[in-house]
Amino acid sequence: MNFQTEKLGSHMAAAVAGLDLNRLPDVGTQATLVDALHDNLVLCIRGQILRPTAFRDAMAMFGTPLERLQLERTPECAEVNIVSSEDRDTLGDGRRIVNGADWHTDDSFMRVPCSLTMLYGVIVPSRGGDTQFINMYAAYDDLPADTQRRIDSLAVIHKYRSSRKLTRITTRPSEEMAAMPEATHPLVRTHPATGRKALYLNPNRMECIVGLERTDSDRLLDQLIAHSTQIKYQYRHVWQQGDVVIWDNRCTMHKANADYPEGERRLMHRVVVAAPAVA
């Protein structure tokens, strides 16, 4: 298939035009798209009109679609979640909730997190509602060498309901919480496909660094978060209706912005996948 690409940010993100994901790309095109994602960390495929099953099937070129219970799911397809301006904490206080309103990486509270996340812009507001991303390779690379040596072997406990959480999260049933025990992940991850090191942070889910006193753990995590969230590492995606935005949770963080005009809707469909194993 013929398609066109263009850089979106100065150091991450690229857009693809000329593809209709209702027709699955050939094997060569799929490999080119995967390479583009690895090179750019965030990939936007423009101008799509997709039913939930078609969205899921297209995203399967990047890995195995997974079911996630923490968000509402489309009736047609259990692997496609709904992220909406109308989301509410239905099992809690019923108030509106903005999923992903602070910096995070998806699924870090799980022992086996998803690798990639895909959002499809079904309805986008006239302005606002952007998604911001951080290049966690660059954030790691810019750390002093002695800091890199200090943190390379450290691990962090992540929890769905962390005591350090910054934003409201949806209330989950007790049986679901019991199936989500705390998870321990490296503070620095080596990407299995690229071989590059990246900080692996989730300010909304991290509890503490294994082996450090709590005050020392909090201080180091706060320092790394402040460092990595600098503007110079960020790309801000301005949504167009029909965008499919794909990002790699192993080397990025992201956040949603609910700054669109009152009364306007923002409706996204979401798929997460486990990327294929690298030989």
Query: Quick one: 78 exposed, middle or buried, by C-beta within 10 A (0-12, 13-18, 19+)?
Result: middle
Phi/psi zone of residue 143: left (φ > 0), alpha (ψ -120 to 50 degrees), beta?
A: beta
* Residue 129 pLDDT exceeds 70: yes
Phi, psi angle pair for 216, to nearest 5°: -70, -40
pLDDT of residue 279: 42
User: Can you tell me which residue has the tokens 């998870």?
Assistant: 183
Distance CA 217, CA 157 (A): 11
- The answer, yes or no, to whether residue 35 has pLDDT greater than 80, is yes
- How much is the mean pLDDT over the chain? 91
Q: What is the pLDDT of residues 43-77, one digit of tens each?
A: 999 999 999 999 999 999 999 999 988 788 999 99
- Cα radius of gyration (the chain): 18
pLDDT-wise least confident of 23-27, 167-171, 210-214, 242-246: 167-171
Helices (H) and strands (E) in the chain, counts: 6, 17
pLDDT at position 87 is 65
Please name the amino acid found at residue 43: L
Domains of the chain: 4-274 (3.60.130.10)
Give the global pTM. Answer: 0.92
Q: Can you tell me the distance from the alpha carbon of 76 to that of 72, in angstroms, rounded to the nearest whole number?
A: 12
pLDDT in tens, 175-211: 776 667 799 999 999 999 999 999 999 999 999 999 9
Q: Alpha-carbon distance 183 to 180, whole Å?
A: 8
Q: What is the pLDDT of residue 84?
A: 84
Q: How many CA atoms lie less than 13 Å away from 251 in the CB half-sphere? A: 24
Rounded Cα–Cα distance for residues 238 and 85 (Å)? 16
**pLDDT tens digits for range 229-279:** 999 999 999 999 999 999 999 999 999 998 988 889 999 999 999 987 654
How far is 90 from 192, CA to CA, in rounded Å?
38
The two tokens of residue 234 are: 């960020």
33 by Cβ neighbours in 10 Å (0-12 / 13-18 / 19+) ranks as: buried
Residue % of the chain over a pLDDT of 90: 77
Residue 133 has pLDDT above 60, yes or no: yes
pLDDT tens by residue, 102-127: 999 999 999 999 999 999 999 999 99
